[in-house]
Amino acid sequence: MPESSHKALVCLSGGVDSTAALLRCSRQFARVRAVYVDTAGKDAPEQAGESCEKLGIELTVADAVDVFNKEIRDFSRRVYSRGRTPNPCALCNAKVKLAVPFSMLQTNELLVTGHYAKYESGILKRGSDPSKDQSYFLSLVPRKILDRCCFPLAESMKADAREEVLKEGLPFITRESQDLCFQRGITGIPGNIVNTDGKIIGRHNGLDGYTPGQRKGLGAHSGRKFVIELDPQHNRLIIGDEKNLYSEHCILNNINWLKKPGENRFSCLVQIRYRKPATLSDVTLSEDGWSAEIEFHDPQKAVAPGQVGAMFQADNVLGGGIIDRYEGDLKCLTE
- Residue in 188, 201, 272 with CA at minimum distance from that of residue 239: 201
Q: Is residue 333 part of a domain?
A: no
Q: Is residue 123 part of a domain?
A: yes
Low-confidence ranges of the chain (pLDDT < 50): 1-5, 178-180, 328-335
pLDDT at 183 (0 to 100): 59
Residues 252 and 307 occupy one common structural domain: yes
Q: What are phi and psi of 274, to 5 degrees?
A: -60, -45
- The structural domain count of the chain equals 3
List C-alpha distances in Å: 76 to 71, 84, 250. 8, 9, 20
Is-contact 311 289, C-beta < 8 A? no
The string of pLDDT tens digits covering residues 257-290 is 999 999 999 999 999 999 899 999 999 999 999 9
Helix H or strand E segment including 100: helix 99-102
Residues 152 and 13 occupy one common structural domain: yes
Q: Is residue 334 part of a domain?
A: no
Whether 92 sits among the annotated catalytic residues: the reply is yes
Residues 256 and 165 occupy one common structural domain: no
Three-class SS state of 259: coil
Residues 109 and 228 occupy one common structural domain: no
Give just the sign of the alpha carbon dihedral 93, 95, 100, 101: positive
pLDDT at 81 (0 to 100): 81
pLDDT at 184 (0 to 100): 57
Last residue of a domain, one of 175, 209, 225: 175
Q: Is residue 142 part of a domain?
A: yes
Q: Is residue 180 part of a domain?
A: no
Q: Is residue 186 part of a domain?
A: no
The one catalytic residue in 11, 25, 92, 149 is: 92
Q: Is residue 81 part of a domain?
A: yes
Residues spanned by the domain of 145: 7-175
142: domain CATH number is 3.40.50.620
Residues 107 and 44 occupy one common structural domain: yes
- Does pTM surpass 0.75? yes
Residues 68 and 151 occupy one common structural domain: yes
Residues 255 and 170 occupy one common structural domain: no
Is-contact 16 47, C-beta < 8 A? no
319: domain CATH number is 2.40.30.10
Residues 227 and 275 occupy one common structural domain: no
Where does residue 77 rank: exposed (0-12), middle (13-18), buried (19+ CB within 10 A)? middle
The one catalytic residue in 52, 149, 150, 181 is: 181
Residues 84 and 207 occupy one common structural domain: no
pLDDT at 222 (0 to 100): 75
Q: Read out DSSP for 158-171?
A: HHHHHHHHHHHT--
Q: Is 103 left (phi over 0), alpha (psi -120 to 50) or beta?
A: alpha
Residues 233 and 292 occupy one common structural domain: no
Q: Is residue 64 part of a domain?
A: yes
Residues 16 and 151 occupy one common structural domain: yes
How many C-alpha atoms does 92 have within 13 Å on its Cβ side? 22
Is-contact 319 124, C-beta < 8 A? no
Rounded to whole angstroms, how far apart are CA atoms 28 and 13? 20
Residues 119 and 12 occupy one common structural domain: yes
Rounded to whole angstroms, how far apart are CA atoms 265 and 228? 29
Q: What are phi and psi of 82, to 5 degrees?
A: -95, 10
